[in-house]
Amino acid sequence: MNIEIFNKESCIEPLVHIGESSTQIIVMIDLPCVRKEDIDLKVSEKAVEIKTIIKTTFKNKRSVKFCLFHKIIDLPTMVFKEKVKAKFEKNILLITLPKEKNIKRIKIE
Amino acid sequence: METDNLKPTHAVKLVETKSLNFKNPVVIIGFPDVGLVGTIVAHYIIDELKLDEIGHIESQLFPPILVIHNEKIQNLIQINGNEHVIVFTSEIPISLKILNDLVNTITTWITAKKAEMTFIIGGIPNQNRLEMKTINTYAIPTTSRASEILNKGNLQLFDEGVIMGMNTLFLRKFFEEKSDSIGLLADSFLAFPDPESSAVVIENLNKMLGWNIDIKKLLEKGEEIRLNARDLMKRTEENLSKMREPKEEDIPMMYR
């Protein structure tokens, strides 16, 4: 796969929904017309980056062709990137990101 | 022809562009809402039943958006139909500024056309939607006659809870006026277009109305619909967020 062959004009942002519990952040990304093997997912402690080819090139109402989904998602809190899990079902990418438990109790003087 | 005799409000005006001799039509209201279920259902019915545009809504409070399809400017809120079926759809999320006036204008017009039954279609967000094997459709009838027709569909009554959003205004208005209508709300993704849920709603309409609309194409084109409906879904979700900001005192005590 060579994602870089597409220029920036052909990029669109996928729909994203972010949920949060006390222990984890759940990021859902809607990726219609995408194959699992084309998804390039990168995770840091603070953000998720998704980049993937859209297998069916289509034109919108302005006849602009779109070929690529790309989005950088800033996370609401730091996560433990080594324990991130992702699954792709019904063309929705579900990413589970455990929150980093780096909390220090402060003694009040 | 304008429906001046139906007391249009200042914010919106319903314009009939094609005069039809309605025969107690079934009305489908499918405006952008959770999962765009109403929108997808309405557009699919229009395509499958080949319903022409027979009118539209005008408003000076519409946002500065122009929708062009096949080189023609589209009305933002359209009415398609024939003598037996009328479908309301919108190319834009319905703004809070026109919501009440729009509901009043449309319900007054539907009552004047002596509709047999009005179905208000929407989604109901389910956080487990991704794992669901069976998608439920919940029904909210506004009259006892409307309750009777529910027996023909594979439906559960929405027995308890609070629902927010524009569909509730339609249902309350029909309930107050004792007009026959049914809210049909399918389990849906909150922020993603949901053609699969829309197909379930159409199957239920088929059972209740004796229609035979094939949902195969809808399911086959599901991913393409999701791709094309992305922008509308994004704007609808932003609009729904504004509606979801009730003050705590607006929520009944039993649910606080």
The pLDDT value recorded for residue A4 is: 44
Residue range A27-61, pLDDT digits in tens: 999 999 999 999 999 999 999 999 998 887 555 54
Q: Is A32's CB within 8 Å of B190's CB?
A: no
**Where in B126-180 does DSSP place strands (E)?**
137-141, 156-157
The pLDDT value recorded for residue B68 is: 86
The pLDDT value recorded for residue A5 is: 45
Dihedral sign for Cα A59, B222, A53, B127, please: positive
| b/e code B43-64 from CB counts within 10 Å (16+ = b) | bbbbebbebebbbbbebeebee
Ranking A43-47, B61-65, B89-93, B194-198 by mean pLDDT, the lowest is B61-65
B109 vs A102: which has the higher pLDDT:
B109
Q: Is residue B249 part of a domain?
A: no
Ranking A9-18, A28-37, B27-36, B225-234 by mean pLDDT, the lowest is A9-18
A15, A33, A89: residue with CB nearest B223:
A33
Provide the ipTM. 0.83
Is the pLDDT assigned to residue A103 strictly greater than 80?
A: no
Q: Is residue B254 part of a domain?
A: no
Q: Is residue B250 part of a domain?
A: no
Q: How confident is the model at residue A6 (pLDDT cuts 50, 70, 90)?
A: very low
What the block records as the tokens of B217 is 């194409």
Is the pLDDT assigned to residue B52 strictly greater than 60?
A: yes
What the block records as the tokens of B99 is 């919501």
B68, B193, B224: residue with CB nearest A56:
B224
Question: Number of A:B CB contacts under 8 A?
Answer: 48
Q: How confident is the model at residue B73 (pLDDT cuts 50, 70, 90)?
A: very high
Residue B114 CB: number of other CB atoms within 10 A? 10
Q: Is residue B183 part of a domain?
A: yes
Residue A88 CB: number of other CB atoms within 10 A? 17
For residues B201-211, average pLDDT: 94
The pLDDT value recorded for residue A104 is: 73
The pLDDT value recorded for residue B166 is: 86
Ranking A8-17, B70-79, B168-177 by mean pLDDT, the lowest is A8-17
The CATH number linked to B194 is 3.40.50.10900
Mean pLDDT score across all residues of chain A:
84
The pLDDT value recorded for residue B4 is: 47
Q: Is residue B11 part of a domain?
A: yes
Instruction: Tell me which of B68, B129, B133, B192 to substitute to probe the interface with A (most A C-beta atoms closer than 10 Å).
Output: B192
The pLDDT value recorded for residue B22 is: 95
A12, A15, A91: residue with CB nearest B191:
A15
The pLDDT value recorded for residue A3 is: 46
Residues in B whose CB is inside 8 Å of some CB of A read: 67-69, 127, 130, 189-193, 196, 222-224, 226-228, 230, 233-234
Q: Is residue B104 part of a domain?
A: yes
Cross-strand pairs, B14: B57
Domains and CATH numbers, chain A: 3-98 (2.60.40.790)
Q: How far apart are CA B236 and CA B238, in angstroms?
A: 5
Q: How far apart are CA B79 and CA A24, in angstroms?
A: 45
What the block records as the tokens of B111 is 């009552």
Q: For chain B, what is the domain count?
A: 1
Q: Is residue B88 part of a domain?
A: yes
C-alpha A8: how far from chain center: 18
What the block records as the tokens of B113 is 């056309």
For residues B111-119, average pLDDT: 96
A7 vs B188: which has the higher pLDDT:
B188
C-alpha A13: how far from chain center: 10
What the block records as the tokens of B5 is 């005799």
Q: How many Å is the maximal CA-CA distance in chain B?
A: 52
A56 vs B234: which has the higher pLDDT:
B234
List the single residue in A with minimal CA-CA distance to B220.
A33
Q: Is residue B253 part of a domain?
A: no
Q: How confident is the model at residue A1 (pLDDT cuts 50, 70, 90)?
A: very low
What is the extent of the structural domain holding B176?
Answer: 4-244
Is the pLDDT assigned to residue B65 strictly greater than 90?
A: no
% of chain B surpassing 90 pLDDT: 73
The pLDDT value recorded for residue B130 is: 92
